[in-house]
C-alpha cells in the first residue's frame, strides 16, 4: 500500500466479493481475500494487478447442499427452495448472530473501502457547525438549514432536556447515562444561579457554593446548553475560585471560557485575558504566554487589566522587584488575587538580590519594598523560610526625642542568604490541578 491508500480497483474488488458471498462461503471468501491481497502486497503488486480480472475460487465453487434450516417451503407446492440472502452493493451489512464479532468488524471495514471517496473532507466542520447551532450560538443560520448528511451525527435527537425543578443538587461525577428526571432545565438553572449568588454574599461557604456550581455546570454540559448564561456561570465561578485561592477550579472554568468566547458569546473576555496573562506568569508557561501575546490586538492591549498584566510581565522580565510590588498593590479587579499566588516567589527572589548586595537590610525597608502590611507579617514570612536572622542596627536618619539614635532590627544578609536560596529552589516547578 502506498501513501495514497488502497487502489480504487482493489476497493471495488473487495466490495464486490463480499456482496456476492453467502453465509455458507463467507468464511472461505474472507480467508481467500486475505491471502490474495497479502500476496499482492508482499510482491508490491497492489497497483499493478488487474483486480477486475481476478477470480476467487471460493466464489466460483457451488455452495454445499442446503441443510433443513436453510430451506423454506413454497406456498401451494411440495417444492422447497433455498433462502436468498440479499446484500445490497456498497452498503454495510448488519451483524448476524452466527458471525464472530471480529470477522464482522473486518467485513465492515472492507466494505467501507468504496465509501472512502464519498465522505466529504469537511465532515468535521459540518458536525461542529451543527453542534453550535443546536446549542443556541449566535448565528444567522438555523440548525434546520443544514442539509441532512449521513456522516453527521444528529445531536439534536440525542440532546437531553432535564425535568427536575430542584434548585439545589450535590455534584456527583456521572458514571451512567444522565437521567432527565435529575437534570434541571435552563429556567430552573437560572433560578439556581440567583440563589447561589445570594448565598455566597450572605454565607461565604465556599465548599457548598463550589459544589453547587459544579453541579450547575454539569447540568449545562449534559444538555449541551452553550449561550450567554453559560458564560455568566463560568465567569462567576471563576471569580469565586480566585477569591478563595482555588486555582485548580479557576483553571477549569478558564479553559471552558476560552472555548465559549471563541464562539462570540457575550462575556467579560478582556478581564479574563488579563487573568490568564497573570496565570501564565505564575506558572512560567513561556510558550503559551508568547502565543497569547501574539494574538493581542491594539484595542485589547489598551484595556486596563491587560495593560497592567503586561507591565507585570515587563517587571518580571527585567527583575525589577520595586516595580513589581508597586503593580501588586494597584492590580485592577481581581488581578491581585492571582498575583497573591506568585508574590511569595518574587519576594524570595527580591530578598536574594538584596542579601547579595548588602550586609544588612532594615526591617522597615523590607516592609515597604516587598509590599507587606506590617513588620510582624514580614518576620513571619522570613520565619516560614528559616531566614529570620536579625540584629539590632542603628539608623542615623531616625532619632528619638532626646536626639539619640533609634535602634531597629535589620536582616543579617550573610546569615539569611543560604536559607533564602534553599527556599527559592522549591519554586522551580508549579503544579496546579487542571493546568493548561
Greater confidence (32 vs 64) lies with 32
Q: What is the largest CA-CA distance in the chain?
A: 134
- Compute the distance between CA of residue 157 and CA of residue 316 in angstroms, rounded to an integer: 52
pLDDT-derived band of residue 158, with 50, 70 and 90 as boundaries? low
Q: What percent of the chain has pLDDT over 70?
A: 71
Structure confidence by residue, pLDDT tens digits, 200-214: 999 999 999 999 999
Mean predicted lDDT score pLDDT of the chain: 79
pTM listed for this prediction: 0.63
44 found inside a domain: yes
Confidence (pLDDT) at 119: 36
Grid cell locating 156: 439534536
Confidence (pLDDT) at 72: 42
CB 233 within 8 A of CB 220: yes
Confidence (pLDDT) at 93: 38
Please tell me the total count of domains within the chain.
2
Structure confidence by residue, pLDDT tens digits, 180-201: 999 999 999 999 999 999 999 9
433 found inside a domain: no
- Compute the distance between CA of residue 398 and CA of residue 394 in angstroms, rounded to an integer: 8
Q: Tell me the CA distances in angstroms from 423 to 378, 384, 387, one per residue in order.
A: 15, 9, 9
249 found inside a domain: no
Greater confidence (414 vs 21) lies with 414
175 found inside a domain: no
Confidence (pLDDT) at 135: 45
Grid cell locating 395: 539608623
388 found inside a domain: yes
Structure confidence by residue, pLDDT tens digits, 89-146: 443 333 333 344 445 555 555 554 444 444 343 333 333 333 343 444 433 333 344 4
Residue 424 has pLDDT above 50, yes or no: yes
Nearest to 37 by CA among 62, 56, 19: 56
Confidence (pLDDT) at 156: 61
Which residues lie below 8 Å from residue 101, measured CB to CB, with a gap of 6+?
Answer: 95
Structure confidence by residue, pLDDT tens digits, 385-399: 999 999 875 554 555
The mean pLDDT value for 56-65 works out to 71
Residue 317 has pLDDT above 60, yes or no: yes
pLDDT-derived band of residue 243, with 50, 70 and 90 as boundaries? very high
Greater confidence (91 vs 294) lies with 294
391 found inside a domain: yes
Confidence (pLDDT) at 100: 42
Task: Estimate to the nearest angstrom the gap between the alpha carbon of 386 and the chain centroid.
Answer: 40
SS (HEC) of the chain: CECCECCHHHHHHHHHHHHHCCCCCHHHHHHHHHHHHHHHHHCCCCCCCCHHHCCCHHHHCCCCCCCHHHEEECCCCCCEEECCCCCCCCCCCCCCCCCCHHHHHHHHHHHHHHHHHHCCCCHHHHHHHHHHHHCCCCCCCCHHHCCCCCCCCCHHHHCCCCCCCCCCCCCCCCCCCCCHHHCCCHHHHHHHHHHHHHHHHHHCCHHHHHHHHHHHHHHHHHCCCCCHHHHHHHHHHHHHHHHCCCHHHHHHHHHHHHHHHHCCCCCCHHHHHHHHHHHHHHHCCHHHHHHHHHHCCHHHHCCHHHHHHHHHHHHHHCCCHHHHHHHHHCCCCCHHHHHCCCHHHHHHHHHHHHHHHCCEEEHHHHHHHCCCCCHHHHHHHHHHCCCCCEEEEEEEEEECCCCCEEEEEEEEHHHHHHHHHHHHHHHCCCCCCCCC
Q: What is the radius of gyration, based on Cα positions, of the chain?
A: 35
pLDDT winner (highest mean) among 8-12, 133-137, 314-318: 314-318
Polymer length in residues for the chain: 436
CB 340 within 8 A of CB 245: yes
Lowest mean pLDDT among 81-85, 110-114, 425-429: 81-85
387 found inside a domain: yes
Range of the domain at 38: 15-49
Residue 274 has pLDDT above 60, yes or no: yes
Residue 29 has pLDDT above 60, yes or no: yes
264 found inside a domain: no
Confidence (pLDDT) at 65: 59
Which residues lie below 8 Å from residue 320, measured CB to CB, with a gap of 6+?
Answer: 314
Amino acid at each position: 500500500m502506498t501513501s495514497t491508500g488502497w487502489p480504487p480497483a482493489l476497493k471495488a474488488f473487495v466490495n464486490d466479493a463480499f456482496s456476492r458471498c453467502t453465509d455458507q462461503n463467507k468464511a472461505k471468501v474472507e480467508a481467500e481475500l486475505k491471502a490474495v491481497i497479502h500476496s499482492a502486497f508482499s510482491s508490491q503488486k497492489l497497483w499493478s494487478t488487474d483486480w477486475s480480472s481476478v477470480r476467487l475460487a471460493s466464489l466460483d465453487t457451488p455452495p454445499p447442499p442446503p441443510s433443513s434450516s436453510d430451506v423454506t417451503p413454497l406456498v401451494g407446492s411440495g417444492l422447497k427452495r433455498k433462502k436468498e440472502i440479499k446484500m445490497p452493493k456498497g452498503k454495510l451489512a448488519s451483524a448476524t448472530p452466527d458471525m464472530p464479532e471480529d470477522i464482522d468488524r473486518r467485513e465492515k471495514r472492507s466494505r467501507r473501502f468504496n465509501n472512502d471517496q464519498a465522505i466529504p473532507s469537511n465532515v468535521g466542520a459540518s458536525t461542529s457547525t451543527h453542534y453550535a447551532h443546536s446549542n443556541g450560538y449566535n448565528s444567522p443560520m438555523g440548525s434546520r438549514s443544514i442539509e441532512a448528511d449521513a456522516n453527521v451525527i444528529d445531536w439534536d435527537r440525542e440532546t437531553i432536556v432535564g425535568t427536575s425543578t430542584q434548585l439545589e443538587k450535590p455534584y456527583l461525577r456521572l458514571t451512567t447515562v444522565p437521567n432527565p428526571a435529575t437534570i434541571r432545565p435552563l429556567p430552573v438553572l437560572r433560578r439556581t444561579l440567583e440563589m447561589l449568588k445570594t448565598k455566597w454574599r450572605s454565607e461565604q461557604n465556599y465548599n457548598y457554593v463550589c459544589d453547587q456550581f459544579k453541579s450547575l455546570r454539569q447540568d449545562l454540559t449534559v444538555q449541551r446548553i452553550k449561550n450567554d448564561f453559560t458564560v455568566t456561570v463560568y465567569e462567576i465561578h471563576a471569580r469565586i475560585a480566585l477569591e478563595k485561592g482555588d486555582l485548580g477550579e479557576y483553571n477549569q472554568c478558564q479553559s471552558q471560557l476560552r472555548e465559549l468566547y471563541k464562539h462570540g458569546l457575550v462575556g467579560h473576555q478582556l478581564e479574563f485575558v488579563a487573568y490568564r496573562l497573570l496565570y501564565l506568569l505564575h506558572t512560567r508557561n513561556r510558550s503559551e504566554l508568547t502565543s497569547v501575546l501574539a494574538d493581542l490586538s491594539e484595542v485589547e492591549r489598551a484595556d486596563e487589566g491587560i495593560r497592567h498584566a503586561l507591565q507585570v510581565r515587563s517587571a518580571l522580565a527585567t527583575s525589577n522587584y520595586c516595580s513589581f510590588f508597586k503593580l501588586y498593590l494597584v492590580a485592577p479587579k481581581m488581578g491581585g488575587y492571582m498575583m497573591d499566588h506568585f508574590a511569595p516567589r518574587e519576594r524570595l527572589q527580591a530578598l536574594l538580590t538584596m542579601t547579595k548586595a548588602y550586609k544588612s537590610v532594615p526591617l522597615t525597608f523590607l516592609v515597604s519594598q516587598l509590599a507587606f502590611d506590617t513588620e510582624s507579617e514580614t518576620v513571619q514570612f522570613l520565619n516560614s523560610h528559616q531566614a529570620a536572622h536579625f540584629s539590632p542596627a542603628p539608623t542615623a536618619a531616625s532619632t528619638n526625642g532626646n536626639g539619640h539614635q533609634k535602634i531597629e532590627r535589620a536582616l543579617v544578609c550573610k546569615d539569611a542568604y543560604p536559607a533564602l536560596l534553599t527556599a527559592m529552589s522549591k519554586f522551580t516547578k508549579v503544579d496546579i490541578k487542571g493546568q493548561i
